[in-house]
Amino acid sequence: MAVAAPLQSDTPNDPPSKRSAILEGATRVFLASGYGPASMDSIAAEAGVSKQTVYSHFGSKDALFEAMVRQKCDDLTSPMADSEIRGDNPEEVLIGLGRRFMELVLLPAHTRLFRAIVAESERFPELAEGFYRAGPRQGADQLAEYLAELDRKGTLRIPQPKASAELFFATMRADLYMRSILALSEEPDTDEIDQQVTLAVAAFLAAHRTT
């Protein structure tokens, strides 16, 4: 389904902060209720504006949902996108990367966003694809470049860097992430994350030793 592009405000003197307030209110409503039950009335009330103001900025609920998802994707993936994956000690580099990754994906805001995107992926396939490209795909591609360098140097044996990068993140998520996505447990503490990361990195390095 094609989603209409967000509209510009019909009121040029409207402060930019009003648009931000609408997006913040929409985020709270969409992530708490899901796309279907969320109404423009409830979003307007949450944002402290009139429903007409919401429509003047976004035009439709579809466009508002799209804008919310795109903003949250930017907010949640920028820490990974901005961090460089480099260093001569693979264990140290991968543990650091794993901790940043797990702390990011286990944030309650991120798990709620992921559930919302999965629930609406058939209705908004382009948003699901955009989320995948900005998050999982970008992270795996960045790691694959680092792994290819390790293979060239002979530090590790990684003949298929892309597949190994995908394996790294899949191993990292494991049961901890699944329980969080299914809301079967509270947000994991630092010790749980460190234990998961350490085990995953050890298994990854053992599978890619040169001897």
User: What are 103-150's pLDDT values in tens digits?
Assistant: 888 988 888 888 988 998 998 898 888 888 878 888 899 999 999 999
Judge if 87 and 114 occupy the same domain: yes
**CA dihedral over 37, 39, 41, 47, signed as positive or negative:** positive
- What's the chain's average pLDDT? 86
Please check the confidence at residue 80 and state whether its pLDDT lies above 70: no
Name every residue whose Cβ is closer than 8 Å to that of residue 201 and which is 6 or more positions away in sequence.
Answer: 91, 94, 95, 98
Between CA 150 and CA 160 the distance in angstroms is: 12
Residue 8: its pLDDT value, please? 35
Between CA 206 and CA 164 the distance in angstroms is: 12
pTM value is 0.78
* Structural domain count of the chain: 2
Judge if 180 and 202 occupy the same domain: yes
Q: What angle do CA 107, 125, 141 make, to 5 degrees?
A: 60
Between CA 187 and CA 168 the distance in angstroms is: 22
Parent domain of 32:
16-59
pLDDT tier, 51 (very low <50, low <70, confident <90, very high otherwise): very high
Does residue 132 belong to any structural domain of this protein? Answer: yes
Tell me if 107 sits within 8 A of 26, measured CB to CB: no
Tell me if 188 sits within 8 A of 180, measured CB to CB: yes
Does residue 9 belong to any structural domain of this protein? Answer: no
Mean predicted confidence (pLDDT) in 189-201: 93
Q: What is residue 188's DSSP assignment? A: P
Does residue 139 belong to any structural domain of this protein? Answer: yes
| Higher-scoring residue by pLDDT: 15, 130 | 130
Judge if 85 and 43 occupy the same domain: no
Residue 194: its pLDDT value, please? 94
